[in-house]
Amino acid sequence: MESFRNPIILGFIAAYMLLTILVGIWALRKTKSTQDFFMAGKDLGIIVTGFAVFSSLLSGFGFVGGPALVYKMGMSSVWMFVCVIMGFNLSFFLLAKRLRLFAEIGNPISLPDIVRLRYDNAFTQGLMALAIILGVLGYLATQILAMSIVLQEILNASSLIESISIGYCMFISCSILVFYSITGGIVASVYTDLVQGAIMIFGALLIFFSVINLFEGGFQEISQIIAQDDAGAIGPWGTLGAFGALSWLFIFMMGGAGQPHVITKMMMYKNISDAKYILPTSIVGYFFSALLWLSIGLAMRALVINGMHPELSNADMAASVYLQYYTNPILAGLVFAGLFAAIMSTADGFLNIGTAAIMHDIPDALGVKIKNDLFWARLVTLILTVISALFARYSGDLVAILGAFGWGTFAAAIVPVVVIGFNWKRATPMAANVCIISSLSINFSVKILNIKVPYAIDIGAISLIISMLLFISISILSKKPVINKNVEAAMDL
């Protein structure tokens, strides 16, 4: 079977691509209106929503970037997923019901729509749309870069092509992604999430056991190899140290509730009581899939330190190298296919909210009406993909670092305005506007000016703290706002 490794892997990926096209075509038929394209008709079931929530969180960020960070820094990045149940709890306690209730008022199709409904302010809607577009660029770049790295590794290892550059791989990845997103909208995304989620749970479990069997002593031997080289790397803070790890804990446990591609799914389920089953479904799915993040990263670090595998030229290759050289070809093919599915569905989700922000929210905030919006939505999808691909190509960051930037941008802008503001009547539009502007200014100026923060504290965490402080203090100091009657009723329920 080993001699057919590459054909098997390529076969699985080809089969998956075919499945993607079929899902896209099926979703195209199911998508009859803008509401369907952006909100899946508010008709999703428990399993579909639960899987869509956890799969959107993991994606290329978790499956390519996660193992890369564990390989590079040891246990530091594990804090990003160790706190995920905290994040889910915050999202469900504060938002699942509230967003579903708001979705009943005025048929909103995006998060900025609901923000406008809550604050009754067009400028706030426009700013929220801008924050989403900027966050989407960072996050979408993560997905495109992850997909290109995996594709390059597979194609370079096969006998079909001698050597392919990352640029060509990006072109191929973007072409598939654009086709998929343009045809299916959010319907394609959530149903691919379902397939992908199932594949990833199954694949991650098998990978976990393959890592245990790779070393005679299982994880204990891996831990010992890493500890002999650098005890801090296998300690709870990893190489980054306590502050860096704790700032990740903060930004990921609070910021989980501020990820628009995740929380918009909370407007799409059918019955409100489904939320109580969606939470455990998402947690269980996330837990099993995250095993891949931890096990591959540690295994690759131990293999390199022990001299069993040559050093990786790029940490982002950790997952694809492990799958290529240390797993059964069928399992590798299955996980590679699942990985592509993860990246595609999440990227589709991002394109969806980014397109809604450009096509619907900003014109709405400016009072402009766009005709033939479905056509324009598809064109904007193409443009967003190209800009993100350029960002990914020229930023020079690791997949997970780009992902953490996108996460931090969303968290700082959305957590105060949405998570707090949707549950606190005292919140004012002015506070929301200042909060969004400050969060974007801090995140982007630190990124553009390449400022190093002491103690390796994540800038997203600092930005979130400042935007929360501004939001609450300005709200308390301003005049009590007048809230729409229906919105008030939804907030009282």
Residue 44 phi, psi dihedral angles, 5° rounding: -85, 150
Q: Which one, of 418, 411, 354, 415, lies nearest residue 382 by Cα? A: 354
The per-residue DSSP string of 374-434 comes to HHHHHHHHHHHHHHHHHHHHHH---HHHHHHHHHHHHHHHHIIIIIITTT-TT--HHHHHH
* Helix segments in 256-398, DSSP class H: 260-263, 275-305, 318-326, 329-356, 362-366, 373-395
Q: Does 29 bind other proteins (CB under 8 A)?
A: no
C-beta separation of 16 from 196 below 8 A: no
Q: Which residues pair with 19 in a beta bridge?
A: none
Q: Does 431 bind other proteins (CB under 8 A)?
A: no
Q: Does 161 bind other proteins (CB under 8 A)?
A: no
C-beta separation of 100 from 272 below 8 A: yes
Q: Does 370 bind other proteins (CB under 8 A)?
A: no
In the block, which residue shows the tokens 């640029």? Answer: 167
Judged by CB, which is closer to other proteins: 65, or 238? 238
Residue 238 phi, psi dihedral angles, 5° rounding: 65, -160
Q: Does 78 bind other proteins (CB under 8 A)?
A: yes
Q: Does 18 bind other proteins (CB under 8 A)?
A: no
Q: Does 441 bind other proteins (CB under 8 A)?
A: no
Stretch that binds other proteins, among 1-9, 74-82, 123-131, 378-386 (CB under 8 A): 74-82
| Among the listed residues 420, 430, 432, 434, the single contact to other proteins using CB under 8 A | 420
Give the whole-angstrom CA distance, residue 166 versus residue 178: 18
Q: Does 116 bind other proteins (CB under 8 A)?
A: no
Q: What angle do CA 406, 408, 414 make, to 5 degrees?
A: 100
C-beta separation of 384 from 138 below 8 A: no
Stretch that binds other proteins, among 32-40, 222-230, 405-413, 440-448 (CB under 8 A): 222-230
Q: Does 253 bind other proteins (CB under 8 A)?
A: yes
3-state class (DSSP) for residue 479: coil
Touching other proteins, residues 278-297 (CB under 8 A): 279-280, 283
| Among the listed residues 249, 268, 302, 440, the single contact to other proteins using CB under 8 A | 249
Binding mask 442-481 for other proteins (x = CB under 8 A): ----------xxxxxx---xx--xx-xx--xx--x-----
Q: Does 434 bind other proteins (CB under 8 A)?
A: no
Q: Does 418 bind other proteins (CB under 8 A)?
A: no
Binding-site size, other proteins (CB under 8 A) = 95
| Among the listed residues 8, 9, 53, 82, the single contact to other proteins using CB under 8 A | 82
User: CB 26 → other proteins: shortest distance, Å?
Assistant: 29
Stretch that binds other proteins, among 158-166, 212-220, 343-351, 430-438 (CB under 8 A): 212-220
| Among the listed residues 60, 62, 74, 260, the single contact to other proteins using CB under 8 A | 74
Stretch that binds other proteins, among 13-21, 123-131, 220-228, 348-356 (CB under 8 A): 220-228
Q: Does 314 bind other proteins (CB under 8 A)?
A: yes
Stretch that binds other proteins, among 110-118, 139-147, 261-269, 308-316 (CB under 8 A): 308-316
Q: What angle do CA 276, 277, 278 make, to 5 degrees?
A: 95
CB atoms near residue 237 (< 10 Å): 19
| Among the listed residues 305, 382, 437, 474, the single contact to other proteins using CB under 8 A | 305
